[in-house]
Structure 1
């Protein structure tokens, strides 16, 4: 997964677009610059240039390393990936978590702050 994203984004200019849906309304967030570093750099996220109908809920995570239940790289004293049931570029908390639990109605869901938080969006 992350190695593939790194390979796709390591060759220069990469745009990321996230399309989501909540309560029959469609949203999107687009980033004009997006990359994920390699494993040695713990898959650090670099993202900027937000546009779209969904809030900018990814830039909060800019420059964060990827955290999992067994690789705690967030800035919290607790392991946020374990607590929120989803590996992500967690900081002290999160504004987005697209690796959460599908259809969850709490903080462990597929969240995008400004669209649904807590809870789960769906993808279109």
Structure 2
């Protein structure tokens, strides 16, 4: 039995499968330690398959109250500590921040794979335009659904 009150990651293969068959949108829900909530909605969202390291290859226009901290990562491959694909090969952002994400240069403006509760600069669950790199978020959720009215 799963506990959905804890951390949960759907997995890159599942996210790819969800976004490959038809046009999807993304809603990012955020909440800080004080209970302040924000959101950012992206009109299009998709990632590539394994052969392209699950790159963030589709990201539409953003709108919301959190500010756009994901577009900075557009086109980046998904990296982890043992498989790093960031643009600066001399600096493994996944190892530095103990996380997995679509790291860019410099490492990230958002990092929803960060360490829960860690307010050290850049180490936590961060969304730069909402609470900066020094405030780890209490809640972060990425929700994907078909684009309303879109037909393949």
Q: TM-score, structure 1 length as denominator?
A: 0.95
Cα RMSD for the two superposed structures? 1.1
- Name 2:63's counterpart in structure 1: 51
Residue in structure 2 matched with residue 16 of structure 1 by the alignment: 26
Write out per-residue CA displacement over residues 40-97 of structure 1, whole angstroms, 9 at most, x where no aligned residue: 0100102121010001000000010011101110012210011011100001110000
Matched, 1:74 2:86: yes
The reply on whether 1:104 has 2:118 as its aligned counterpart is: yes
**1:38 equivalent in structure 2:** 49
Contact 1:60 1:95 in 2 (8 A): yes
Can you give the 5+ residue segments of structure 1 that lack an aligned partner in the other structure? none
Q: Give SS of 1:3's match.
A: helix
Secondary structure, counterpart of 2:67 in structure 1 = coil
Of the structure 1 ranges 101-110 and 113-122, higher mean CA displacement relative to structure 2 is found in: 113-122
How many angstroms apart in 2 are the aligned matches of 1:20 and 1:29? 9
Using the TM superposition, give the Cα deviation of residue 29 of structure 1 relative to its aligned residue in structure 2, in angstroms: 0.7
Rounded Cα–Cα distance in structure 2 between residues aligned with 1:122 and 1:11 = 32
Instruction: Give the unaligned 5+ runs of structure 2.
Output: 1-10, 141-152
Distance in 2 of aligned mates of 1:48 and 1:120: 26
CA distance in 1, matches of 2:71, 2:109: 9
CA radius of gyration, larger in: 2
- Distance in 2, Cα, partners of 1:120 & 1:57: 14
TM-score, normalised on structure 2? 0.78
Post-superposition shift, 1:122? 2.1
Q: Provide the secondary structure at the position in 2 that maps to 1:9.
A: helix
The secondary structure found in structure 1 opposite 2:15 is: helix
State how far apart, in whole Å, the 2-side matches of 1:80 and 1:6 are.
23
